[in-house]
Amino acid sequence: MNQKDKLLQIIQMYGFALDEIILYLDTHPECQDGLDYYNKYLALKKAAVEEYNKLYGPLTAEQVLSRNKWTWVHEPWPWERSAN
């Protein structure tokens, strides 16, 4: 597995952890440990997505960094990148 695939797998792992803790917090909104876990993995995912965006391009159109030109259409789509 190359570095790009590893980083994408990490992003997916953090996303899964966030989905699960959100479900928990829906029924335990006062749980400080749950909130701490959520904040920890939210920060980890944001950092991983930012790193991926800088190295390989955005995963979603909302992550396009350019302010002068719409670059989303000039790069391979995220689902096409794994073929390269």
pLDDT digits (tens, 9 = 90+) for 17-49: 999 999 999 999 999 999 999 999 999 999 999
Reported confidence tier of residue 81, pLDDT bands at 50, 70, 90:
low
Q: Report pLDDT for 49.
A: 95
pTM metric for this prediction? 0.79
Distance CA 9, CA 76 (A): 19
Domain coordinates in residue numbering, the chain: 3-81
* pLDDT score of 82 more than 60: no
Three-class SS string for the chain? CCHHHHHHHHHHHHHHHHHHHHHHHHHCCCCHHHHHHHHHHHHHHHHHHHHHHHHHCCCCHHHCCCCCCCCHHHCCCHHHHCCC
